[in-house]
């Protein structure tokens, strides 16, 4: 699926926070282009019954049915910057909302989260760390919200690959595995490991591009 906008700087801004008349198309584009990565990240979490799960950057939320199939009585909390994505996610998951299994929240402008300590068994985020201004502080917050033994999973594209993309010239920050590991270990996480994958995606002119991506995992 090709992006719905050809202005690459504008596309980069929309990928960070979809808004305006293109928001729905951007949300669908994000879901289609990232679906495999999202599902691999969810698989890596190895969720169990009654787990409470936190996600940052859920887009239009069309991956939630896949998440809820992983175990019984999962409880999901999602945090998102885009008000339009929150609206779409609520519309796409109204059944889970009525069942009180899913909550969708707006991120505040200071990039701070507000949950009680030890609220979650698992945290995951896919293709979002690039936009977090103080990533180490973010990991510190996540660490406090996880129970002892809780799991963190990050899905992300290869640093060199990401930096070559024409839409990442503004507002994106990529890190190596070592840089991510150092940040996570410095705030208390342990047992950092990385799973490697590749997938074919559509590029300009409908040419197939092989995209390397990773799922990194660590434990509290």
Q: Tens digits of per-residue pLDDT, 126-184?
A: 999 999 999 999 999 999 999 999 999 999 999 999 998 888 888 899 999 999 999 99
Please give the C-alpha separations between residue 172 and each of 118, 166, 167, in angstroms, as whole numbers: 30, 11, 9
Q: Is the predicted pLDDT of residue 12 greater than 80, yes or no? A: no
Mean pLDDT of 10-34: 85
Q: What is the pLDDT of residue 17?
A: 82
Q: Specify whether the CB–CB gap between 104 and 58 falls below 8 A.
A: yes
pLDDT single digits (tens) 37-79: 999 999 999 999 999 999 999 999 999 999 999 999 999 999 9
More confident residue, 91 or 209: 91
pTM attached to this predicted model:
0.93
Edge-first strand order for the sheet with 52-56 is: 102-106, 75-80, 52-56, 120-126, 146-157, 208-219, 190-202
Element (H, E) at 191: strand 190-202
Q: How far apart are the first and last CA of the chain?
A: 37
């Amino acid at each position: 699926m090709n992006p719905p906008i050809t202005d690459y700087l504008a596309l980069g801004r929309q990928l960070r926070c979809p808004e305006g008349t293109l928001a729905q198309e951007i949300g669908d584009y994000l879901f289609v282009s990232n679906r495999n990565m999202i599902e691999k990240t969810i698989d890596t979490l190895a969720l169990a019954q009654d787990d409470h799960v936190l996600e940052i950057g859920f887009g239009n939320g069309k991956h939630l049915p896949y998440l809820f199939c992983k175990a019984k009585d999962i409880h999901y909390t999602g945090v998102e910057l885009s008000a339009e994505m929150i609206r779409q996610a609520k519309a796409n998951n109204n059944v889970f909302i009525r069942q009180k299994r899913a909550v969708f929240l707006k991120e505040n402008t200071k990039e701070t989260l507000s949950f009680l300590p030890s609220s979650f068994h698992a945290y995951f985020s896919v293709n979002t760390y690039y936009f977090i201004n103080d990533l180490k502080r973010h990991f510190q917050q996540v660490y406090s919200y996880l129970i002892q033994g809780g799991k963190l999973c990050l899905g992300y594209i290869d640093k060199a690959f990401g930096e070559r993309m024409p839409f990442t010239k503004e507002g994106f920050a990529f890190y190596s595995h070592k840089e991510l590991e150092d940040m996570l270990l410095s705030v208390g996480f342990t047992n950092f490991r990385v799973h490697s994958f590749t997938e074919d995606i559509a590029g300009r002119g409908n040419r197939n591009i092989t995209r390397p991506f990773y799922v990194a995992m660590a434990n509290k």
